[in-house]
Structure 1
Amino acid sequence: MSQTLVRAGGSVQSPTFGIENLADLPSDIQVTPIQLTSEDGAPSRGLLYKRKNSTPKVGVHIMHPRSDVSTSYYNGALSKAGYAVLARGSRSPNNDVSTIHENVLLDLAAGVRFLKEQGCETVILLGASGGASLAAFYQAQASAEPGERLTETPAGDPLDLNKYDLPEIDGITIIAGHLGEGLCMEQMIDAAVIDEDDPLASDPDLDMYNPANGFAIPPTPSVYSQEFLARYRAAQKARVRRIDAKARSLVNRQREAAALVAKLGPEAPLDLIRQANTETHMIIYRTAADPAYVDLTIDPDDRPVHSYFSDRPDLENYGSEGFGRYLTPRAWLSTWSANTSNAKTAHNLAKVKVPTLFVHYAGDCGTRMSHAKAIIEAGGAADKTLHLVRHTGHFGMFLPDAPGTGRNWEGMDKIIEWLQARFPV
């Protein structure tokens, strides 16, 4: 099995294909709005980038389960290199209130079919951040033996993927990918929460933002004891299990009401009908609490004290926004639960045999270098590569103490170099 680990030397590389803004695209690249409909009738949309008056040979499909990536930085670079690029959102872009990963696979399949209809003989998936686990999940299901695909969602709702057309793809590229949203949530969720209905209710002995446990006000790094970290990680897992139980209870309550309505028929009382049609929403407070955000001795790499969005994770943790903040029980079980979500990058990548590239930003606050290595090592492809980009954060920007500023194009240049060697246009 061939596996390559390439470590960047830290020098600043001149961008070969980098294009930050759509206005800077070469004049021979056309950007076309695309409307798609999945096999189950769900609509979605995106942008197709391709050279004018050409039939593309190789297409790159780019998608995230929750975010619209139609104008992200990788699209221009890939199209400039000659690849047709379909970059898009799912059926519920920029809104994970009801994101069911199993449904999103049908959206991704619609995009793969579209590229093939455009003449692409080869289709590559590019997964960034949560798009990595989505890409791996898709190909694992698409390549499954007949009858071996999933037949229901984690909430137990019937969804037989064996009945749908999931065209296999020819390669997977990952940039700034992570373990999967559920596994990330298990790292980030605040173990000190003792009442899911009260964002301030907290166990001080489990509070990673309590100075008594080793916390220091950023930018000073914190240092936690191994004893505290062991208790904290165990309590995080316990909190996820409690939320899982609550989600299943809410789903079952609605399902039982629906079954009773079906049994009673026209005699069913209105209150029961309303209960059968009501999906209660959940609020998940305090999800910016990964000790590795502030303790840089945990799996050391290039990252500074920072979360995905703030240099004060302790304040962000109590802010108005957060991952998985407001969502249905079904969305929690499918997307954000470490225990029930099927969208786990390493698990699914083990079933993937097509060439695989993982570009890891060594300053990514949410994905440790050990995670990236574990993911690529789990991959089932004979041709798999891990490329490490130093001094760069999750969104592809140089870190404050890096030898460069702005966008670091090294990762995209590596993806294009890798594609040109295997799937030339």
Structure 2
Amino acid sequence: MAEPVRYTRTPYLIVHREDRVRKDVYGAIDDAVVLQAQLMRGPTPSDTALVVMHPIGAPAYLPVFAQLARAGHHIVACASRYSNGDAALEMENVVLDLGACIKDARERLGYKKLVLLGWSGGGSLMAGYQAEAEKPVVQLTASGEETPLAGAGLIPGDALMLVASHRSRHKLLTGQIDPSVLDERNPGQRDAALDIYDPANPAQPPYSADFITTYRAAQIARNRRISDWARARLAELKAKGGEHDEYCFVVHRTMADPRWIDPSVDPNQRRPNWTYLGDPRVVNDSASALGRFNSLRGWLSQWSYDHAQFDSVDAGPRITVPGMVMTAGADDACPPEHTDAMFAAMGSADKCKVTIDHANHYFTGAEGKSHLGEAVGIISTWLAERDLVNDTVLANTRVAA
């Protein structure tokens, strides 16, 4: 069998500028925003690049993107300014970072066609960006402040692919936040009837529909209490003359979604009592859980149920370019109901939804079986059918699989 395509990785920086008083990341120099990027490409020229970004972290080493590069695709993998932590992350700023990456790919690197590929948390970023590029609506940040995003003139992508994605950070967190917490300053004070990890709780899997309804309402209520407090605290700081002041805080117990311990809740092929971060009981109090460390503006922009502005379902009707939604059949991070809603909302006349059977969130599969080749093959064929990849790359896909 022929060897997979040998691809190269070229690291580079993208610098764009913002004239702001408040800096929300460490190491910013004057008004420069510096983004770390990599260009991954095989030996065959292409006028199409797949652009990938995640709100936090660097996506260039994720398995699916490396496998796409092995198939010969050109990948522009760019980190946002928040690659070292999301406590102060504002999604409006991440969309601006993505805009700088896309502009660089078009104008400096010379790619004529750009496909936005959102994996996991990158899905709502890519969908939100495309919606803003096609029909902008955001005028202020989630905290009600001015943002350069208004009137930014974003360059739209030529297609959108949402791969193993959830609909948004705020809807994902709300579905996972532990509603048993009664006092944010004393998380040990809990409503036992809503503590799904308490063995003495009479509500045990499989959960009744009434329990799930009550539980979900309590999750939204907790999110709203935190959001109301954050808005009030920010207003208090500003009223005292601290226009740019911030306040940082911890949100405890944020991995308590019943679906992770009861496979009958929003079912798929996932392993019970497990998540992409491990045992949900452990993750619930772990430093690695979503939304643990926050700033006021960061909470409102990325986690607030009512105030966060970037959601694939909300953005969907404004998207007209060809779209694909790819689901991992055993996804242990992104809820299946999110995938269904994202696909239904997408306004594209040309759209499809596919599932990689038994694949986990990273497409590394179960029992050592990788599903990456299958995912890359489907992506490559879909792109080729829309004249977004050349025949050589399509042939290489079969080798890389």
Same fold by TM (over 0.5)? Answer: yes
How many angstroms apart in 2 are the aligned matches of 1:38 and 1:306? 44
How many angstroms apart in 1 are the aligned matches of 2:244 and 2:101? 32
How many angstroms apart in 2 are the aligned matches of 1:138 and 1:43? 19
Distance 1:73 1:130, change over 3 A: same
- Output one character per residue of 1:153-179: Cα deviation in whole Å (capped at 9) or x when no partner: 010110142432311110011111011
What is the deviation of 1:75?
A: 2.5
Aligned counterpart in structure 1 of residue 187 of structure 2, from 194, 199, 203: 199
What is the deviation of 1:210?
A: 2.1
Matching residue of 2:24 = none
* Superposition pairs of residues 89-128 of structure 1, within 5 angstroms: 89-117=79-107, 118-128=109-119
Q: One-letter code of the match for 2:36?
A: R
Aligned counterpart in structure 2 of residue 331 of structure 1, from 277, 298, 301: 298
Establish whether residue 237 from structure 1 lines up as the match of residue 220 from structure 2. yes
Distance 1:298 1:373, change over 3 A: same
Distance 1:128 1:310, change over 3 A: closer
Establish whether residue 285 from structure 1 lines up as the match of residue 226 from structure 2. no
Matching residue of 2:327 = 360
Aligned counterpart in structure 2 of residue 224 of structure 1, from 199, 207, 217: 207
- Output one character per residue of 1:216-255: Cα deviation in whole Å (capped at 9) or x when no partner: 6xxxxx3222222221111101001101111101211222
What is the deviation of 1:305?
A: 1.4
From the CA coordinates, give the structure whose radius of gyration is larger. Answer: 1
How many angstroms apart in 2 are the aligned matches of 1:335 and 1:378? 21
Matching residue of 1:413 = 377
**TM score, norm. by length of structure 2:** 0.88
Matching residue of 2:157 = 169
Contact 1:132 1:345 in 2 (8 A): yes
Distance 1:126 1:306, change over 3 A: farther
- SS of corresponding position for 2:61: coil
- SS of corresponding position for 2:41: strand
Distance 1:131 1:330, change over 3 A: same
How many angstroms apart in 2 are the aligned matches of 1:90 and 1:416? 26
Distance 1:49 1:191, change over 3 A: same
Matching residue of 1:5 = none
- SS of corresponding position for 1:405: coil
How many angstroms apart in 1 are the aligned matches of 2:104 and 2:72? 18
Contact 1:33 1:47 in 2 (8 A): yes
What is the deviation of 1:76?
A: 2.7
Distance 1:153 1:409, change over 3 A: same
Distance 1:254 1:141, change over 3 A: same
* Superposition pairs of residues 3-18 of structure 1, within 5 angstroms: none
Matching residue of 1:65 = 55
Q: One-letter code of the match for 2:304?
A: S
Q: Cα RMSD over matched residues?
A: 2.2
How many angstroms apart in 2 are the aligned matches of 1:313 and 1:160? 38
Structure 1: gaps spanning 5 or more residues: 1-13, 17-23, 217-221, 259-274
Matching residue of 1:424 = 389
Q: One-letter code of the match for 1:30?
A: T
Distance 1:76 1:309, change over 3 A: closer
Establish whether residue 33 from structure 1 lines up as the match of residue 11 from structure 2. yes
Matching residue of 1:379 = 346
What is the deviation of 1:51?
A: 3.8
* Superposition pairs of residues 180-195 of structure 1, within 5 angstroms: 180-195=168-183
Contact 1:55 1:119 in 2 (8 A): no
**TM score, norm. by length of structure 1:** 0.83
Contact 1:213 1:224 in 2 (8 A): no
- SS of corresponding position for 2:240: helix
| 237-246 vs 316-325, greater mean Cα deviation | 316-325
- SS of corresponding position for 1:409: helix
- SS of corresponding position for 1:183: helix
How many angstroms apart in 2 are the aligned matches of 1:46 and 1:315? 33
What is the deviation of 1:212?
A: 3.9
Matching residue of 1:299 = 266
Q: What is the aligned-residue identity percentage?
A: 29
- Output one character per residue of 1:139-162: Cα deviation in whole Å (capped at 9) or x when no partner: 110111xxx531210101101424
Structure 2: gaps spanning 5 or more residues: 19-31, 391-401
Contact 1:38 1:109 in 2 (8 A): no
Q: One-letter code of the match for 1:193?
A: V
